[in-house]
Every structure is written in C-alpha cells, then in structure tokens.
Structure 1
C-alpha cells in the first residue's frame, strides 16, 4: 500500500507497519516485544523517509568487470534522537544506515505545564551540509519536537525531516505552523490529545513502555 500524503505530512500505511503498530498499542504487550516492534517499524519508516535521497554513480569492480554503480551522494545523514524515547527509533534507523551521524537532544515535557525543558544537546558538525532526520515516537503537543528543531536550526541545519510513530492532529497543526519547511512522516494520526497531553487512543508513554518505567 502506497504512503498517503497530506499537506506536509506522509502517513505510511504499509500493512506490516499497521499490524505491528496494533500489537504495540495493546497494553498487554511486553516491554521486550514493544522494543523489538518499535525497532522493526523504524526499519520500514526509514525506508520511506529516505526514499528520495540523491544518488551518484561511482566506479567499482565487481568479480566480473568494472562498472559505474549508484551510491548515496553528499555528506552522511544525521539522525537526531529526542531523548529518551527517540532512541527506540534511532536503533532501527541505524540498522539500515549504519554510517549515519547521530545527534542527541535531551528534552522532556513538564507534566504540569506540558512545556519542553532542555537538558542536553550534542550534534555533529556541518549540519548545514547534511540532511537531518529527527526521530521521536510521539508527536503529541509538538512542544518537544518544535523545540528540538529550533535548536537544530540554530546550529545551521536547513534540511530537516521529522519521523514519528504516532501523531495527534493538534501536534501536527502546531508543528506545521512552527516549522512549515519540515515534512512529517508518521505511521498514524490518532483522534486527539487528552487533558494530560497524551495521544488518544495512542499507546501510552512510549518511553515508559520501552524501558519499564513509570
């Protein structure tokens, strides 16, 4: 099944993604299974978010003869993980693109104000010359994602994509208003946010379900 494109948003409706996502939503799914499924879905989402990467032909020697063959063009990609839950997607992304550079952005959501609080930022150099793919399983209020991309742009990033597992309509709207130049890739857009800022029906707190915390 081909991806469905909205304005600036691609919902990847591949049957394998949707099947695995259903299992992840189930509150009875174990921590180990949740973590494994997130990594597997990351493989499939990574395929879509990198679909249009530019190629160039390079000379190689096969066992049979010399030839020109396609390879990725330009500087290495950067995967930027919004800690801590972003690491669940990051691991699967690195399975497919092991040479990618990695940025870590430490931002948590204050459960009283729902506002982002930054505590860590470490990124590769020359962000202005690289495609940066920001990963976080949930686009809920979009406060953390918006703040993370603000920081990346301050450091020179100008080609950015955002990849998540689930999104809320409120988060998509806020994110697109804040960063209309940053396309969003997600497996699903759910119904709404509840009064605590959680996606409904959602799957709960992705970080807690990955790491067995409360």
Structure 2
C-alpha cells in the first residue's frame, strides 16, 4: 500500500504483506511505506517519551533499525543456488547480485547501523557526513566515504528524521553523483513537508518510515516528534 503527498496520508500495512516499492509508468513519485508492525509502533512510542534514557533510546533505535531492515529488503531479487545439505543436494535461493550498501547520514543515522548489520552482516557501509546549519536549515557536507561500485549495489540511506529533508536530499544527490541509482531511504519519523520536498527532488527513491507526524515547527523540528534524534542518542542535549 502506498502513501503519497499531497494526497491524504494513510498508514501502509507492512509485515506479512508485500510492499509496493515503485510506481510503474504512472509518472508519480515512488512510494512511502509506513511500517505499522506492532513491535515497531511499541518501540517508537517508548522512544518518543522524553524521560527515556540515552541508553534506552539508543537501544530502541538499534532494534527498530533491524525491524525496518527486514521490511525494506522484502523485495530483493533472488537467484537459484545448488547446495549440499547433510542429507542430499538441493536447489535453494539466495539474494542476487552484490552485497547491499548501508549509507547512514551522520551522525544520527549511525543509530540504525548495528541493528541493520545484525541482519545484513555482509553489507558494505558508506558514510555521509552532513550537519544542518542552524540559521538556514540547509545541509552542509563535511565528510563522504563510499564503496567505488555503488552503481552495482542497492543502497539503503539511513536517517532517523525526515524533517525539512535538506540532509536527505543532499545525501542522495551525492550518492547519485558517485553512480548509485538503486536507492531506498529509511527513517524513523517523517513530516509531510519533508516527504514533499524529498519527492520533488528525488521522485525515483522510495521511503520507508515508522510514522508520518503532523508538521514541522518554526525551528524545523517534527511535531509531535521525539526531539533531536542525534542529541538523544548521544546524550548531547
């Protein structure tokens, strides 16, 4: 099930049913999938609580990262492979192509890494260092390091918050410049304004999120949100 801006937003059923990833030839933006699995929603509610400790917040972000990784990789292509079990030879299936790339947007995106790597231990890791200018809210790059063969891999771009979308838009542009074309964006929370900006800049990239909140405030924070994910994750608030 898909959610698009500016049409009314609605949750998409996730675990247990196939998720649409891209529109085929209708000229519209790629899909937004809201992962509404009970475990994801429960853990997200715990994270929103301002009384949650830094340790607890970090652990929950790690756990949700693993659950979101399960959903965003649901439609990866498979290929047949012949193996020997202890009893006989058989034909099984394995993921086709080169290993995935996980690309966290520093610094908060790193919070997803351990959980996702526990599910995808062979994935490569790119790092996109961006910070938000407090005056303009624009993304400023300070670090970039990625595998050289991004064009041959599926790249999962990770950032807990899709607020103004300035960082996400800049990170995707940088990855595309390095050859990436099979890109998927994973976040914890999204604002309608961020989704609209994201889809205007990168209509080919689908989004997975745990929730779409009400709006952005005057400071570019998601409301009701959970505050600054990086500060809460690292105890710098």
TM bracket (short chain):
over 0.9
Q: Offset of 1:91 from its aligned partner?
A: 1.5
Question: How does the TM-score come out when normalised to structure 1?
Answer: 0.97
Q: Distance in 1 between matches of 2:56 and 2:89?
A: 45
1:135 equivalent among 144, 148, 158: 158
Runs of 4+ in 1 over 3 A off after TM superposition: 4-7
Q: Distance in 2 between matches of 1:202 and 1:90?
A: 21
Number of the residue aligned with 2:13: 2
CA contact (8 A) 1:161 1:184 kept: yes
Deviations 1:158-178 (A, max 9, x none): 110000000000000000000
Q: Distance in 1 between matches of 2:147 and 2:181?
A: 14
Matched, 1:37 2:60: yes
Q: Offset of 1:57 from its aligned partner?
A: 1.2
1:24 equivalent among 38, 43, 47: 47
CA contact (8 A) 1:8 1:176 kept: no
1:60 equivalent among 48, 71, 83: 83
Q: Offset of 1:111 from its aligned partner?
A: 1.1
Question: What does residue range 172-187 of structure 1 map to in structure 2 within 5 Å?
Answer: 172-187=195-210
The Cα RMSD (Å) is 1.3
CA contact (8 A) 1:35 1:88 kept: yes
CA contact (8 A) 1:78 1:130 kept: yes
CA contact (8 A) 2:103 2:125 kept: yes
Q: Offset of 1:2 from its aligned partner?
A: 2.6
Number of the residue aligned with 1:121: 144
Unaligned runs of 5+ in 1: none
Number of the residue aligned with 2:179: 156
Number of the residue aligned with 2:102: 79
Q: Offset of 1:7 from its aligned partner?
A: 5.8
Aligned length: 214
CA contact (8 A) 2:13 2:34 kept: no
Unaligned runs of 5+ in 2: 1-11, 21-28
Question: How does the TM-score come out when normalised to structure 2?
Answer: 0.88
